[in-house]
Structure 1
Amino acid sequence: MSATAGQADGVRSPADRFGIEPDSVVMEMGYDDDVDEDLRDALAERCGELEDEDTDEVVDAVLLWYRDGDGDLFDLLTNALGPLADTGVVWLLTPKAGRDGHVEPSEVSESAQTAGLQQTSTVNAGKDWTAARLVSPRGAKKK
């Protein structure tokens, strides 16, 4: 078997793992000096500049960096849904277990469910971060 583009040495790029396409519009929330810059660079390289949370555009994905103590997760998820396209996805990035700001998976699950989202997968988002893929159940998104 041969490796496909972006999968040399069996390693997929972060943009592949996150399903980011070249024409995707990606909004970022919760940016701080502890985020994974390599991940941000890889996503921006694929789709162009990341939009900030004040964007007026409809977005295909939201990259939400969240640490314990960053405020109410339910409120942040609800804010992320505003500009999200009907088929969009929220990538909730939280520090891995043992890292400062770690968020318990039960908090992620409960907050996502309360916000009307369901978790479909989790991916390694770098040395210090884990990303949960959150989507609206089909037909459940309200305008």
Structure 2
Amino acid sequence: MTETASQKAEEFGFHPGDIIQEWLWDDDVDDAIRASIEDLTGEELVDEDYGSSVDGVIIWWRDGDDEDELSDTIVDATGVLDESGPLWVLTPKPGRPGAASSSTVQNAAKTAGMNAATPLTVSPDWNGIRLRAFGKGK
């Protein structure tokens, strides 16, 4: 892939008009990813306190955060996510501060009843892992 998903936000599976909820934001997130999603959808990202259903979710997760917290966050996020909406866990790439092993994300996803896909490079410093409910296709 010659373009990263932050340059080509449709790789996330989001569409114009979608409401995307962002979990575990902190000042280390990649603002280019956030901006590209907002540019594509035409909507600002909403936070964990958003009170309605959403069309997609991104979760920023770093090593050192509690794996059980990630599982709980995934469960909470799927509770407001439209049935067919994409859910992504974004983690720092290997060698970056806060880099998380893919097995940690896979274990948390499994605990939450989800499958984790192969990581996708979404920016120079972040990978994304799409989660799907067990039994769902690609």
TM-score category of the 2 structures, normalised to the smaller one: 0.7 to 0.9
Letter in 2 for 1:111: A
Q: Cα RMSD (Å) of the superposition?
A: 1.8
Letter in 2 for 1:17: E
Structure 1 stretches of 5 or more lacking a match?
Answer: 1-9
Q: Secondary structure at the match of 1:59?
A: coil
Q: Which residue of 2 aligns with 1:78?
A: 75
Per-residue deviation, residues 38-64 of structure 1 (Å, max 9, x unmatched): 110000111111111111121111110
Larger relative contact order (C-alpha < 8 A, sep ≥ 6)? 2
1:130 aligns with 2:127: yes
Q: Which residue of 1 aligns with 2:59?
A: 64
How many aligned residue pairs are there?
131
Q: Which residue of 2 aligns with 1:23?
A: 17
Q: Secondary structure at the match of 1:88?
A: coil
Q: Secondary structure at the match of 2:113?
A: coil
Per-residue deviation, residues 70-124 of structure 1 (Å, max 9, x unmatched): 2322112112111111112211000111111111111111110110111234321
Does the 8 Å contact 2:14/2:86 carry over to 1? no
Letter in 1 for 2:34: R
Structure 2 stretches of 5 or more lacking a match?
Answer: none
Q: Secondary structure at the match of 1:42?
A: helix
Normalised TM-score (structure 2): 0.86
**Counterpart-to-counterpart distance in 2, 1:57 and 1:121:** 30
* Structure number with bigger Rg: 1
Q: 1:116 aligns with which of 109, 113, 130?
A: 113
Q: Secondary structure at the match of 1:91?
A: strand
Q: Which residue of 2 aligns with 1:32?
A: 26
Seq. identity, %: 37
Letter in 2 for 1:120: A
Q: Which residue of 2 aligns with 1:3?
A: none
Normalised TM-score (structure 1): 0.83
